[in-house]
Amino acid sequence: MARVAGRNVAISWIAGVLCTGVVGALIWFAIPIMPAVASLVGDTLRSTLP
């Protein structure tokens, strides 16, 4: 990857770890709704297909 002037490697790593943590937390909080979403999708598919 090319170096960009003015970019600090340490700050980039910290920002990357924080972003990964936020995405992981959002996925963790979304896990309990998965059975309801699966049920909704299944009911929708069953009602639209003959």
The 8-class DSSP code of residue 5 comes to T
pTM above 0.75, yes or no: no
Helix (H, G, I), strand (E, B) or coil at 29: helix
Q: For the residues 20-40, what does the mean pLDDT come to?
A: 95
The percentage of residues in the chain with a pLDDT greater than 90, rounded to a whole number, is 68
Answer left, alpha or beta for residue 5, where phi above 0 means left and psi between -120 and 50 means alpha.
Answer: beta
Q: What does the block give as tokens for 27? A: 């996925």
Write the CA distances from 23 to 26, 31, 43, 46, integer angstroms. Answer: 5, 13, 29, 32
Which stretches does DSSP call E strand in the chain? none
